Structure 1
């Protein structure tokens, strides 16, 4: 019997292979491209990947030396065209993806938990993201994680659709029950 795979979540480091990460991102978003959704992640260059990863705290999930997932947690963005992302208490997630061969293992939820914990430690009150308005399965997944649709934005010409903005409260660290 094969031992279970153990994921490791870690920050992006200088020696990470950005071409391999870009390939992971492209492949993870390929099913959306097949449905006609032109996410930036479906066609971004290695240079775009580098810029997007550098826009915040980039995390990588590895399993046995393979890149399995990635996401970037961004602090409030004073220059964003999206008002929600400029809000000083709102941190956001971008470029969130799990490699196709690792989907269904709970890695997305595990990575999201780490992003949420980091946002909490940074003092964020709200965690936000955006996704394609026609991506109903993604929207449902994010809703199951506590997000609600709070608006929309338009990233065209980088994309070919309107995006929904989604947000959830960053709950405070759970308190231990008081001893009686």
Structure 2
């Protein structure tokens, strides 16, 4: 099946995108991890996309995957209600978030293609590194990012979360080097 990876357009439905995130994160919720995307309202989706470049995977007009990437947050700006970790305010740092693929479309490398799009965008914007956070006990997610060259750089506890998060970061060097990281 051919999926189109493209930037989110103003004409795309944030309601559909939010439903996609809920479906994509349901398996994480079933493990007891209350990621924000598990049940965020449309307004939170809108807020999380402010100042971000979102990409979507589309199949026959249906959104089946998504990721967002943005530059560093201003010092003192909250991140989903909590103070931003220093990594997220470091100049030259892009932030990857809201990666999700609908369960019906998993196993087709869409997540990898979405991360590729986000990393390519960040590199083209001149960012030196890209950072993210995920649940510390989410071994499969952490392994996926580690295979791509992301390294653990710290931990934090977001308010109201049932898990501790690990911060991960990857230098954005030569694009050819990224393929070597994933092999």
State the TM-score, normalizing by the size of structure 1: 0.90
Is the deviation greater in 147-156 or in 162-171? 147-156
Moved over 3 A (4+): none
The structure 2 residue matched to 1:168, chosen from 161, 167, 170, is 170
SS in 2 for 1:10: strand
Residues 67 and 98 of structure 2 are in contact (CA less than 8 Å); yes or no, is this contact kept in structure 1? Answer: yes
Residues 22 and 46 of structure 1 are in contact (CA less than 8 Å); yes or no, is this contact kept in structure 2? Answer: yes
Unaligned runs of 5+ in 1: 176-180
Match of 2:180 in 1: none
| Cα drift, residue 152 of structure 1 | 1.2
The structure 1 residue matched to 2:159, chosen from 156, 159, 163, is 156
The count of residues paired between Structure 1 and Structure 2 equals 170
Partner Cα distance (1:29, 1:62) in 2: 18
| Cα drift, residue 154 of structure 1 | 2.1
Deviations 1:122-176 (A, max 9, x none): 111111100011111100111111111110122222x22211000111013449x
Match of 2:58 in 1: 62
| Cα drift, residue 57 of structure 1 | 0.6
Match of 2:15 in 1: 19
| Cα drift, residue 97 of structure 1 | 0.8
Unaligned runs of 5+ in 2: 79-83, 178-183
Where do residues 65-104 of structure 1 align in structure 2 (5 Å cutoff)?
A: 65-78=61-74, 79=77, 81-104=84-107
Deviations 1:78-126 (A, max 9, x none): 1252100100011010111111111110011111111111111111111
SS in 1 for 2:126: coil
The structure 1 residue matched to 2:49, chosen from 45, 50, 53, is 53
State the TM-score, normalizing by the size of structure 2: 0.88
